[in-house]
Structures are given as C-alpha cells and as structure tokens.
Structure 1
Amino acid sequence: MTQDVKKNRLLVLAIVVIPILVSSAARADAVTHWNRVAGDIIVDSGLGPLPADRALAIVQTAVYEATNAITQQYPASDLKLKGKPEASVEAAIAAANRATLTALVPAQRTAIDSAYRQALTAIPDDIARSDGLAIGEKAAAGILSQRAQDGTDAGESYRPRTSPGVYVPTVIPEAPHWLQIKPWLMDNPAQFRPGPPPQLESELWARDYNEVKALGGKHSQRTAAQTEIARFWEEVMPPIYHGVMRSVAEAPGREITRNARLFAAATQASTDALIAVFDAKYHYGFWRPVTAIRNGDLDGNNATERDPSWVPFIDTPMHPEYPCAHCIVAGAVGTVLKAEIGAEPVPPLATTSRAAGGVMRSWKNIDEVIQEVANARIYDGVHYRNSGEVGTAMGRRIAELAVMKYFRTDQ
C-alpha cells in the first residue's frame, strides 16, 4: 500500500469518526442524561402530573446550582454556592440528582442508586470527584430546604358550588390546593390571573362550543391526523415537554452549564405556570365541554345546540376548564426555549408520548409545538379555543420571569 493511499484512508476514517465522536459527546452530556433518568424515575414512582412537575423543577434547579457553583459561568443563582474550579461537574450533577430524587421519591431508591453508581463508574475516583459530589449534595440540600415549606402539603379545602341537599359528583377534583403553593418566579399565584371566560351569550362562546362539539367527541369530524395529535397530547406527565427541551440541549456544541440553566429556567416556568392556571381554574370554575354540550339548551345562546349523549374523545380531567393547563405549560416552556435559542438555528424538535404508546412526533419550530398542544386539547374534547389562547398567553408571561432571572442577568 502506498503512502498516499494510507493517508487517504486515514483522512476518510477521520471524516467518519469525528462527527460520531462529536455527536456522542453532545448526547453524553450529564445534564441531559440525568434529565431523562430523573423523568423516568419520577414517572415510575406514580406521582401525579403536578407533583411530578414540582419534583423535576427541584431536581433541575439543584443540578444548575451544583454545575454553576463549579463553572461560575452565570450570575443567576438561588444559593450563591462556590465550588472548587477543579471539581468534577459530572460528579456534582450525579450527586444533586441522587440527593433530590431520594428525598422526593424515596420508594425509588433502588433505581436512583443504580443510576448513580453507573454514573460514577465513568468518573475517576479522585479528589475532583469527591469535591464534585460534595457540592452536588450541598446544592441539593439547599434547594430542598428552600422548597420544604412551599405549600404542597397544604390541606385540601375544596367545596363544590352547590346548595345543601343537591347531589354533586363524589370524586374530589384534582389539586384544588395547588393555587396555594409558593411560586419560584411569580410574586403570588394570582399575579397573571386572566379575565373571565366568554359570556355564554357571546359569539365567541358559540364559536368555541361548536368547534369542540364537532372535533372533540368520541365520534367526530376529526381527521386521522387530528386523532393522532389528540392521542399524543393525552399524555399529562412532564417528560413529554422535557423531550422538546432535550432537542435543544442536545444540539452540537452546547456547554454543560448552559444546559443546566435551560432546564432550571424551563422547569421553574412550568411549575409556576401550573400554580397560576390552577388559581384561575378554581377562581372561575368554568364548565367542561362534556357538561356544556349536554346542557347546551341552558346557556341562553341560540347558536349552541344541545347533544345530551355527547362524549369527549378522552376522559375529562377532574378540575375546572378555564384556562387550559397543557397550553400554559406549552407557552411557558416554549418561551424559555425561544429565549435560549435566540438567533441560533432551531434544531429539529421531537418528543415521545407514553399515552400514545411511545410514538414520537417532531416539529420545525417552537410555535408549531405550542399551537399543536392547543389544537390537541380541542380534539381531545376537554378544552375550548379561547381557553387555549388565554393559557398560552399566561404561560408566555410567566416564562418572561424565568428569562429575566436566568438569561438577562448575564448580559
């Protein structure tokens, strides 16, 4: 073999291998790896969607605090920790995840410890690892302490709007106490409470009523594509949004502290969005489509025709309709992601849905995701168009607080 041939083969090998190594390095980021692990552990723990969202915000905030304590890359911090510059960031991330997850879902200790031990096998057992573990545990303890009295354990005091002697459904609605939780970003849960839902005599109400009646029923005018969207977004657990976050975090060339910051900002915005939306839901107590459509003759609107046997495509969630919770989370997460991406090219966006059997969907930009979520809740038969628009707008406003806290303080 001639020397020129050898050189050419080595060049070809380098061209093939280098992108693989770069791609592998991007996907091996400890922040994104542990985000996926934490999401799976929390879902498997059996926590409901709201406690799961809260838990992931605590985990991701601790991860950011631990990572940034070592790199000192950004001024935004809830704890103002300073780790040793030579400490292992990967060890700090592992320790922060282990400590927060163990505190939040102790029944999952076996899975948590297994993931932790596996992570440590890739980190040299030296002083850098020890220092990283120490700062990770310190960050976790600090964030857990800050959120220990956030109101999650407040007693449920919901009372239905009725009169003595009248039957009401005996299943307690979901999370009526969630509006009492201490926000991460907002001044109070009602800070972004919207105006009331549409008047029942209005054209807007008739528009929304007839749209969900036509598209959201068990047997409806939905296309096959719309039904796929409806089934996909039936998923209520937070990892469905984290997949979209990872689409951004796993783009080539990303720095690990930047990824930690992204997840902290997005999860805090998501948690505050849910606090705000449940404040509004229980303040207004607006009826769901299944109730409205079966009682369409009682709303005083001649443009809404009753269907006493109408059934939504999915089971109706056990809380008031207005505004849309899925939509407020999509608006919040999407706004944080837009701020994170800025003028950079938008990477391919994708996530999977357990409710749809692990099916993956993809989008070209953030607005497509946000709009699809709003459409899906209509196709599901559980929300109205206006409720989606109001929820999305609320989410965007709440996310601006996260953007201000995490992204604009370093400019």
Structure 2
Amino acid sequence: MEYSSWTISRLSMIPMLLAASVTLARADVIMDWNAKADAIAAEKQIPPAPHSRALSMMHVAMFEAINAIDHRYAPYKLSLSADRSTSREAAAAVAAHDVLLSIYPDLKPDLDATLTNALTPIAESESKTAGIALGKEAALQIIELRAKDGSNAVETYRPLTTAGAYVPTVVPLFSTTGATTPWVMTSGSQFRPGPPPALDSEVWTKDVNEIREVGSRGSPTRTSEQTTIGRFWFFVGARTYNPIVRQAAMAKGMDLVDCARLFALTSMTGNDAIVAVFDAKYTYNFWRPITAIRNADLTANAATPRDPSWLPLGDTPMHPEYPCAHCIVSAAISTVLQTVVGDFGEFSLTSPTAPGVTRKWSRLQDYSDEVANARIWAGFHYRFSTEVGKDMGRKIGALTVATQLRGVEAMAQPSR
C-alpha cells in the first residue's frame, strides 16, 4: 500500500502526539504528591510553618529532577543533568517520596506504598532505573541544602511577667520561624514593614473600633454570610491554597515540567511569606484585638473605649497580631498564580472549619481580598494589618517569579 507524503507526515507525528499526551496525563504525579503531603499534614495536624517547609522541599526536589531532563527552566540551586530518555514520572515520584520520608520517617510503610503505586505503571526499563536514581539524587541534595535552615531551632519564648505573678502558660507559636532561611528572600526581614500605627492615631482608632463592632462573637452588624466566611477561613496554611494551585494547573492543561515549576514557585513563595510575616510579628509583638479591646483604657484614647468582656468570633491564633499571616500568604500565592497562569476561570475551596460550605471565585484578587476581610470578621486582625500583609505578599510573590526558575530563553536575553 502506498501513502501520500501528507499521510506519511501525519503518521510520523503519532508517536510524538502520544508521548505528549502521556506527559500531560502524568503531570498528575505532581498533584498526587502534593495532595499526599496535604493529607499527611491533616492527619498529623502539622502546623503551617513546618508543613510549608516540607512542601517547598518536596516540590523543589521534584522540579529539579524533572527539569534536569528537559532543561526548560533555570534550576533553583542544583546542577543536575540527565538523558532525555530518563523517566520524568519516576524521577518526580522518588524525589517526593525521599523528601517526605526524611521529614516523616515514621510514615515509611505508607510512603513506600504510595511510591510503589506511582512506579508500578512505568514499564521496567533503563529509563525507569535512571529516573529513580535521578529522583534520589535531587531529594538528597535538597535535604542537604535545607539541613541547617534553622527550622529546628529551640523555642525560647519568654513570657512577660513579674516575679511570682501568674500569666497564661500557653507558649505562642512560630517564635523562631522568622529567623529560618528563606528560599528566595535574602532574609526574613527583607520586606519587614514599618511599625503598626500609634495608639492615638486616626488609623488605629478607626480600625480597632471597626473590629470591636464587626469582629465580636455576638456582633449585631456582621451579616450571616460574613460570619460564615469568617469561620471558613479559620482554616489556615498551605492546605488552603494547594487545592487552588491544583485547579489552576488542571485548567491550563499543564504538562509535567510546567506543573512541577508552578508548584515549586508557589511552595517557595508560601514558605517565604510565612518566614517574613513571623519575622515582623515577633519584631513588633503587637497586641491582638482581644487584648487591645479589653485593655483599651491603657491607651488614654477616649475614642476607643474599653470592653472588659469582648470576645472575637473564633479563638485568637497564638502569636502576635501584626501583620496578618493569612493575608500575606494568600496575596503571595495569588501574585504567583496571576503572573504565571492568569485568571483561569472559576475555582473553589472547601474548609473543615465550615462544613458543607464551598467558596467560589472567578478572580484571584477576589480570593485574596476575601481572606483579608475574613480575618476582620473573625475578630483576629485590624484592617491596617491585613493591608500591610497583602502588600508584603505581593512583593514576595513578584520577587519569586522574577528571579526563580525562569525560562531558559528569558535567561538568555540581555539585560535592559
């Protein structure tokens, strides 16, 4: 049988099209391990800071392994290289497994089973063997890179008291986080904001009175929807944004390399946002609304009267108020997504702190703004703190995209 040149040309493309479709489908390996890390954090009740560290290590290792084969983007800090025939899926899965195993050695049977399930569909071959070796090397180097990042510093917070006087005995969270090594920033203080407003200022007076009214547990002015949103966002940490990143990757039909890059960028950004905000929080040690409102007479500001029994909608987080942590993280993630992906249609999220509620947005800005408003309606943060947090987040997100994992072609362009 004879074929026309057009037919031969089309037939010759079939292997390439099949390979492309397999690579696209296997981009799931990135999202599968992302969901696995989130599930571990939920099961073990891992706080946001250590979970963010684990995610960033895992996703950077996965990216470095995959990118070592394709060389589509500049690496983070590793100098890996592999043959184009190396299995990307095997490399990514092993990198994720080995990083998580280094952090959660008690979960070895579960993590080993997850890895086996990921590797089983890949045919036994030199490609698979090379991918496994590459993934191990990427994980090993990232683990070594972060071995002395300060995340295991001993907590030494000193409660403020006088000799013999009782103070609440719960030690606040994340007092050492601001001193840990960032992924992108030069230090945790790089984007440290100026101090909170003076207690006799117009901004302070307006914002503390706003939260006294709308953030109290029995507020008559907070609407039913605002109450629901406030409770929804009691849910914090990377588990609030990872599902959104997964939806963005799926909406854009990202292939394996681009998906790995997106998760590496968002994970590094989320981690650095946490470092930055806790640097600022423990620098200024600013009082929370429940403390300020119950002690308002100490400020000598007649426009901010004391309410001795005031309570917020939820239980106040155990760390200083300024700036808003939830706000910096959501703004940082939104900035990365907006720059890399753009608005990608409707996306949604559920929350364990508001069962049965699904929040939906069509713009990343609306998502970020809702998080900020929720912290006011919950009685946790003053409005000025949410605005400062969002500004910090935007700066960190922009820095990450501008400097990290850039396209090889962009890196080759002369500076202007």
Distance in 1 between the 2:264 and 2:247 partners?
16
Partner of 1:316: 316
- Amino acid across the alignment from 2:291: T
Partner of 2:293: 293
State the Cα distance separating 1:298 from its structure 2 match: 2.1
**TM-score with structure 1 setting the length:** 0.90
Partner of 1:405: 403
Alignment of 1:8-23 (within 5 A): none
User: After alignment, is 161-170 or 204-213 more displaced?
Assistant: 161-170
State the Cα distance separating 1:297 from its structure 2 match: 2.1
Does 1:357 pair with 2:379? no
Contact 1:270 1:333 in 2 (8 A): yes
Does 1:29 pair with 2:13? no
User: After alignment, is 36-45 or 174-183 more displaced?
Assistant: 36-45
Partner of 1:249: 249
Distance in 2 between the 1:120 and 1:58 partners?
21
Partner of 1:181: 180
Partner of 1:376: 374
State the Cα distance separating 1:358 from its structure 2 match: 6.5
State the Cα distance separating 1:148 from its structure 2 match: 0.6
The DSSP-based 3-state class of the residue aligned with 1:157 is coil
State the Cα distance separating 1:301 from its structure 2 match: 1.8
Closer/same/farther in 2, CA of residues 111 and 287 from structure 1, 3 Å limit: same
Partner of 1:156: 155
Contact 1:92 1:133 in 2 (8 A): yes
Distance in 2 between the 1:51 and 1:195 partners?
27
State the Cα distance separating 1:279 from its structure 2 match: 0.9
Partner of 1:17: none
Distance in 2 between the 1:228 and 1:102 partners?
37
Count of residues paired in the alignment: 388
Contact 2:349 2:358 in 1 (8 A): yes
User: After alignment, is 140-149 or 394-403 more displaced?
Assistant: 394-403
The DSSP-based 3-state class of the residue aligned with 1:175 is coil
Contact 1:26 1:252 in 2 (8 A): no
Q: Deviations over 1:217-254 (max 9, x none)?
A: 11112211111211111012311111111121112431
Partner of 1:203: 202
Does 1:100 pair with 2:99? yes
State the Cα distance separating 1:109 from its structure 2 match: 2.0
Contact 1:243 1:352 in 2 (8 A): no
Contact 2:27 2:255 in 1 (8 A): no
**TM-score with structure 2 setting the length:** 0.89
Distance in 2 between the 1:84 and 1:103 partners?
27
Unaligned stretches of 5+ residues in structure 2: 1-20, 411-416
State the Cα distance separating 1:295 from its structure 2 match: 1.5
Partner of 1:10: none
Distance in 1 between the 2:53 and 2:354 partners?
24
Contact 1:270 1:329 in 2 (8 A): yes
Closer/same/farther in 2, CA of residues 25 and 87 from structure 1, 3 Å limit: closer
Identity of aligned residues (%): 45
Partner of 1:56: 55
Closer/same/farther in 2, CA of residues 158 and 47 from structure 1, 3 Å limit: same
Distance in 2 between the 1:371 and 1:62 partners?
32
Contact 1:179 1:276 in 2 (8 A): yes
Partner of 1:265: 265
Distance in 2 between the 1:131 and 1:187 partners?
35
Closer/same/farther in 2, CA of residues 329 and 247 from structure 1, 3 Å limit: same
Contact 2:76 2:405 in 1 (8 A): no
Partner of 2:128: 129
Partner of 2:189: 190
The DSSP-based 3-state class of the residue aligned with 1:250 is helix
Q: Deviations over 1:348-390 (max 9, x none)?
A: 2222222223743221111011101100111111111100100
- Amino acid across the alignment from 1:323: P
Closer/same/farther in 2, CA of residues 123 and 359 from structure 1, 3 Å limit: farther
Contact 2:295 2:308 in 1 (8 A): yes
Contact 1:247 1:348 in 2 (8 A): no
State the Cα distance separating 1:177 from its structure 2 match: 1.1
Distance in 1 between the 2:182 and 2:405 partners?
19
Partner of 1:396: 394
Contact 1:76 1:405 in 2 (8 A): no
Contact 2:24 2:256 in 1 (8 A): no
Distance in 1 between the 2:186 and 2:196 partners?
24
The DSSP-based 3-state class of the residue aligned with 1:292 is helix
Partner of 1:229: 229
Contact 1:98 1:112 in 2 (8 A): yes
RMSD: 2.0
The DSSP-based 3-state class of the residue aligned with 1:41 is helix
Partner of 1:385: 383
Contact 1:42 1:105 in 2 (8 A): no
Closer/same/farther in 2, CA of residues 89 and 262 from structure 1, 3 Å limit: same
Distance in 1 between the 2:51 and 2:68 partners?
26
Alignment of 1:65-76 (within 5 A): 65-76=64-75
State the Cα distance separating 1:110 from its structure 2 match: 2.6
The DSSP-based 3-state class of the residue aligned with 1:141 is helix
Contact 1:247 1:347 in 2 (8 A): no
Closer/same/farther in 2, CA of residues 138 and 27 from structure 1, 3 Å limit: closer
